Amino acid sequence: MSYFDAASAAPLHPVARQALHASLDEGWADPARLYREGRRARLLLDAAREAAADAVGCRPDELAFTSSGTRAVHTGIAGALAGRRRTGGHLIVSAVEHSSVLHSAELHAGNGGTVTQVAVDRGGAVSPEAFAEALRADTALACLQSANHEVGTVQPVAETAEVCAAAGVPLLVDAAQSLGWGPVGGGWSLLAASAHKWGGPPGVGLLAVRKGTRFAPQGPADERESGRAPGFENIPAIVAAAASLRAVRAEAADEAVRLRELTDRIRTRVPLTVPDVEVAGDPVRRLPGIVTFSCLYADGETLLHELDRAGFSVSSGSSCTSSTLTPSHVLRAMGVLSEGNVRVSLAPGTAAADVDRFLEVLPGAVAAVRARLGAPGGADPRPAETETAETPETATTGTKSAGADRDGAATAGPLVLDALGKLCPLPVIELAKVFGGVPVGGTVRVLADDEAARLDIPAWCAMRGQEYVGEEPAERGSAYVVRRLS
């Protein structure tokens, strides 16, 4: 089995396993006690804190260990907002932050605060100028991930931190995906991370709060971890997390070069061997091991199962794999195709042979999924004018009304395609089937109530060289209007 989901959880690093086993015998006692066993536990905890702080780029007394990366984010945001409540209740986040950040923002808004989401470009990156425009006199905190967890895009943290510092606003950085590759540069004020992302044990998070940052821990007071992470420290897991972070950092430079070559291979080969694919994320400013692509006319969940049967563990941001049946908020914010989304995230040590085998298996897996859905072949990027439309049972033709295109030429009335109640990727598949019978200059009005259609129909138009006219209100769902250009 080839494990290609390191962005969710990296395999336990051998150093982490060794450190965990060794510290189980020495780090079980209460580090707050003065007897021998307590002192031994305290030495292990202090050494782990120094090692982790060195990797983060902060002082040991600025770093606290939490029960998870999510807890670090929640604690950091709540404490920073409370510490600056006299300034105001305005919070800034990017639209592609991890759900832990967005959930904290929702809670803040529910408690009377205000939240601004900063948009990203099609590659998934924010601009420091956009953060500058979002800043207000009552802004208490800004949050920006160091790199995106779904598409790997690296964010301009240093530049954004400079903009925030000029306005006197602290910046919290979620560094969960990037910390194993190197420290986060720039003048950030708070930083959160999670050990299982770099090969440490699950259940260990880091929260760094730099001196001078106003911070008020929330919840009942506790003397542990500077009051920022109440409860007894899991010293064996903390020691293993710090040891593995140091180990992966020592290997990071060479491994980054190797994994970047492998992900470049995927980015290049997949569009050449699989028709109708969109590769997402910034092609240059990205993490070494993550590559994400979406396959038109494919069901993401079915595709993941197909790849799992072939021996590959991958993940997806497709709406078809979500219990809410809505596309990933990251893909939605980027405005890219969500159908048949596959994220490949390679762990350090991944063999090149495994990647080559994945590239051999993928075209057949996608073709099988598309065939199961009755999707068109997709070899020709634009349907020929002489194609005969294969109209599904759900398609109905509206009254032909005289109209004119932008050049004044007469056009036929729109074809109305009823895809209500159809989940992704069926609305787009049915659009493709009927589109060959639409005359040049004619339009199709697709009625759909699946949230994914808002992304996938415009993406289909861009990939097929047709015009997406826009979205119109409808009695149920929305009407998405597409014009045939060729």
Choose between 424 and 160: higher pLDDT: 160
Helix, strand, coil % over all residues of the chain, rounded to 5 = 40, 20, 40
pLDDT > 80? residue 162: yes
pLDDT for the residue numbered 220: 83
pLDDT for the residue numbered 52: 98
Q: Quick check: is 58 catalytic?
A: no
pLDDT in tens, 287-302: 999 999 999 999 888 9
pLDDT > 60? residue 258: yes
pLDDT for the residue numbered 387: 37
| Residue 343, H or E segment | strand 341-345
pLDDT mean over 169-189: 97
- Kindly report the CA angle at 271 between 269 and 275, in degrees rounded to 5? 130
Phi/psi region, residue 340 (left: phi>0; alpha: psi -120 to 50; beta: rest), is left
Give how far the C-alpha of residue 415 lies from the chain's centroid of Cα atoms, to the nearest Å: 36
Q: Quickly state the pLDDT bin for 385 (edges 50, 70, 90).
A: very low
pLDDT in tens, 32-55: 999 999 999 999 999 999 999 999
Q: Quickly state the pLDDT bin for 451 (edges 50, 70, 90).
A: confident
Reduced to 3 states (helix: H, G, I; strand: E, B; else coil), residue 93 is: strand
Q: Quickly state the pLDDT bin for 378 (edges 50, 70, 90).
A: very low
pLDDT for the residue numbered 95: 97
Which of these is catalytic: 143, 164, 295, 320?
320
pLDDT for the residue numbered 115: 98
Range of lowest pLDDT (84-88, 138-142, 200-204, 315-319): 315-319
pLDDT mean over 433-439: 91
Q: To the nearest whole number, what is the mean pLDDT of the chain?
A: 90
pLDDT > 80? residue 386: no
pLDDT in tens, 313-371: 999 876 555 555 578 899 999 999 988 999 999 999 999 999 999 999 999 999 999 99
pLDDT > 60? residue 406: no
Token pair, residue 376, equals: 């068109």
Choose between 257 and 383: higher pLDDT: 257
CB 190 within 8 A of CB 170: yes
pLDDT mean over 168-197: 97
pLDDT in tens, 96-122: 999 999 999 999 999 999 999 999 999
| Cis peptide upstream of residue 425 (ω within 30 degrees of 0) | yes
pLDDT in tens, 118-138: 999 999 999 999 999 999 999
* CB half-sphere exposure, 325, CA atoms < 13 A: 9
pLDDT above 70 covers a percentage of the chain that reads: 91
